[in-house]
Structure 1
Amino acid sequence: MAVITRYVVERNGVEKMTFTSKAEADAYDKMLDTADELTTFLTNSKVLADDTVTEALALYMAQQKDELLIALGAKKAPAKTDKAAKTAAEPKAKIAAVEQAA
């Protein structure tokens, strides 16, 4: 019999997601905290009348936090260096090699 450790993220008594890594569970919980704060922010703006749309938008914004911060100018976009371009191309080269071998 195997023993498996699982980390459960729970909100208001409802299980949201289960992880095998504490770091992943903490990151997801932090993202949900951000979404809650964004929901409050958007609700206070009175721009969106539908609560479901407000919550969906807040969750999307929390999930795309880095891109949102770049768009707001609070964070700089990572510069594409030759090394980054080469690193991005490596998986494609490996896939092509595997496909050729098959």
Structure 2
Amino acid sequence: MAVIVKYIVVRNGEEKMTFATKKEADAHDKMLDIADNLFDFLESAKTKLTEDQLEEISLVMAQKRDALMLILRGMNPKKQAPSKLADKPVSKPAAKPAAKTAAKTKIKEKK
């Protein structure tokens, strides 16, 4: 007989998702917390949206929070994608100066 461990995310007594690892379950639970906070924020803004629309917008914003954070900082998330590839370590010593340049660029963008 095999023992299988499952992590279940429960919200308001309702099972939302089942995960194989605690890390995945925690990440999903955090995303749902963010969505709840966004829902409250949007609802308090007195927008003329239905509850379903508010919920859907909140979930999308929470799921894409990394891109949303860049947008809120005034950056273009599409331009950030290639720089993530530059973060990967390169085994050739000649690539180190380019990596330093990329790191300096990121620091400038954060300011």
Is this a same-fold pair by TM over 0.5? yes
Cα deviation, 1:55-89, whole Å, max 9, x if unaligned, reads: 100000000000000000178854635x927x8xx
SS of the residue 1:30 aligns to:
helix
- Cα offset, 1:9, TM superposition: 0.2
Q: Give RMSD over aligned pairs.
A: 2.4
Report the alpha carbon displacement of residue 52 of structure 1 after superposing the two structures with TM. 0.4
Measured in 2, the distance between the counterparts of 1:25 and 1:74 equals 31
State TM-score, norm by structure 2. Answer: 0.68
Unaligned 5+ residue runs, structure 1? 88-102
Q: Tell me the distance in 2 between the aligned counterparts of 1:75 and 1:23.
A: 29
Give the residue type in structure 2 aligned to 1:80: P
Using the size of structure 1 for normalisation, the TM-score is 0.74
* Residue segments in structure 2 that go unaligned for 5+ positions in a row: 89-111
User: For residues 57 and 6 of structure 1, do their structure 2 counterparts lie closer, same or farther at Cα, with a shift above 3 Å needed?
Assistant: same
Task: Specify the alignment match of 2:12 in structure 1.
Answer: 12
* Contact map agreement 1:42 1:48 (CA 8 A) in 2: no
Distance in 2 of aligned mates of 1:74 and 1:31:
22
**What residue in structure 2 maps to residue 35 of structure 1?**
35
Residues of 2 paired with 1:5 and 1:27: CA distance? 17
